[in-house]
Amino acid sequence: MSRVFVCGLGAVSPAGWNVAALREALSKSEPLPVQPLERPGGDKSLRARLVPAPATRLGFLAHPRLRRTSPITHYAAAAALDAVAGLRARPAEKIRLGLVVCMQAGCVNYSCRFFDEVLKDPATASPLLFPETVYAAPASHVAALLEDVTLADTLVGDPASFLQGVALGIRWLEENTVDACLVIGTEETNWILADALRHLDRRAVITGGAGAICLSLDPALSMGVALESITDAHSYRTSTSRTQAARAMRQQLPASSPAELLCDGLSDSPRTDAAEQAAWCDWTGPRLSPKRVLGEGLMAAAAWQCVAACDLVSAGRFPAANISLVGSNQQAMGARFKQDRQGI
């Protein structure tokens, strides 16, 4: 694998609309407050950690493509703009940007609204809503906003797919089809997701947001962090349990020292966490579990893991960080980021 440098980070989470807010919330290690989430047709309220309203109106909403978009696009766009800010500080250089947007649930708000209208009367269902239900809509809007995107893909999968997105970006970089690649994991909150999650994990609290990481082979763009390795995607099958896949992922990561960080996906749900706990049972070093603070953000949570880890490594808090993504129903993948001051 070529040397791949991290050249920008972005995050929108229930902690706020930037990486600093994410950093601060995680440093406190206190779970963020939970809000009730209304659901139609029921007398119970579901729970969620909602992304707070931005302090000021988001400037990018003035872009004609983003006026009618749903929160998932707002989150992705805000995280994207932060992550490419470093690239944009070099206006003289024309950058060919690749974009990979990863999601698990995707555009559920407009899907629910549109389907609700269809069930009531399809003849009057709004044509404005339907295009925003498409998985590819956020990538399309972000590409239009950034303008210099030459290649874009939307990947759907469980949260470990975020690292598939990273691996895809690396391939584009190595093929020299792009100069930098922006990988975004994004989700939005909706009552139906909270309802579905309750069936699968009663302790989990749904949340939304986005995380973005910008990669390049150019050390001059680096923020002092390089991706050292990324594992295979270890798929689950009837014959391969989550635990087996998680262990295989762990074994494939390079050996690490106790001074390094493990950024995992634990969420205080014993059943959900069991496979990942088993894979890392011997880990004695420092550990960061963003979901314990932020909630179950699905693909966004996977992105937050990478963003938070890179942020800490970039700040010199750890020489390296291991990312453990043990997805809910598809695969386990891992990665290791390390300090790399070349180019800084």
Partner 1 sequence: MPAPPPRVVITGAGIVTALGLGWKPNAEGFRAGRSAFRPVSLFDVSRQRVKTAAEVDLPDALPPTGLSHRQAARLDRAGKMLLLAANEAWRQAGWKPAQAPAVGSSAFTRPEPPEGGTPNSSPNKDADDIPLILGTTAGGMSLGEDYFRQAVKSPVRHCRQPTRAVHYQPQVQARMVLDALNINGPVTIIANACASGSNAIGHAWNLIRCGQAERVLAGGYDALSLLVFAGFDALQTLSPTVCRPFDARRDGLALGEGAALVALETLEHAQRRSAPILGELIGYGTTIDQHHLTQPQPEGNAALTAMQLACESAGLTAGDIDYVNAHGTGTPLNDSAEALAIRRWAGDRAGTLPGSSTKASIGHLLGAAGAVEAVICLMALREQWLPVQAAFETPDPACNFPIVRQPRDARLNVALSNSFGFGGVNATLIFRRWA
What 3-state class would DSSP assign to 325? strand
Per rule CB under 8 A, count of chain residues that contact partner 1: 87
The two tokens of residue 268 are 């205080």
Per-residue interface string for the shown chain with partner 1, residues 9-38, x marking contact by CB under 8 A: ------------------------------
- Out of 89, 200, 220, 315, the only residue in the binding site for partner 1 (CB under 8 A) is 200
DSSP code string of 247-312: HHHHHHSPP--TTSEEE----S-HHHHHHHHHHTTT--S-EE-HHHHH-B-THHHHHHHHHHHHHH
Indicate the residue type of 183: V
287 binds partner 1 (CB under 8 A): no
| Nearest distance in Å: CB 124, partner 1 | 9
Q: Which residues contact 328 (CB under 8 A, 6 or more apart)?
A: 104, 158, 159, 200, 272
| Nearest distance in Å: CB 243, partner 1 | 12
The two tokens of residue 35 are 């809000």
| Nearest distance in Å: CB 67, partner 1 | 11
Q: Which residue has the tokens 């020299």?
A: 176
| Nearest distance in Å: CB 101, partner 1 | 9
234 binds partner 1 (CB under 8 A): yes
* 116: enclosing H helix or E strand: helix 108-120
Binding range to partner 1, per CB under 8 A, among 99-107, 206-214, 257-265, 308-316 = 99-107
Binding to partner 1, residues 257-276 (CB under 8 A): none
Binding range to partner 1, per CB under 8 A, among 5-13, 55-63, 235-243, 300-308 = 235-243
- If the CB atoms of residues 163 and 263 are measured against partner 1, the closer one turns out to be 163
- If the CB atoms of residues 55 and 255 are measured against partner 1, the closer one turns out to be 255
What 3-state class would DSSP assign to 101? strand
Binding to partner 1, residues 139-198 (CB under 8 A): 139-141, 143-144, 147, 149-158, 161, 164, 167-168, 170-171, 174-175, 192, 195-196
CA-nearest of 130, 172, 135, 124 to 151 is 172
Distance CA 164, CA 155 (A): 8
| Nearest distance in Å: CB 314, partner 1 | 21
Per-residue interface string for the shown chain with partner 1, residues 107-146, x marking contact by CB under 8 A: ----xx-xxx-xx-xxx-xxx--xxxxxxxx-xxx-xx--
Binding to partner 1, residues 289-308 (CB under 8 A): none
What 3-state class would DSSP assign to 336? strand
Binding to partner 1, residues 36-95 (CB under 8 A): 39-44, 65
245 binds partner 1 (CB under 8 A): yes
* 164: enclosing H helix or E strand: helix 161-174
CA dihedral sign, ordered 42, 31, 6, 148: positive
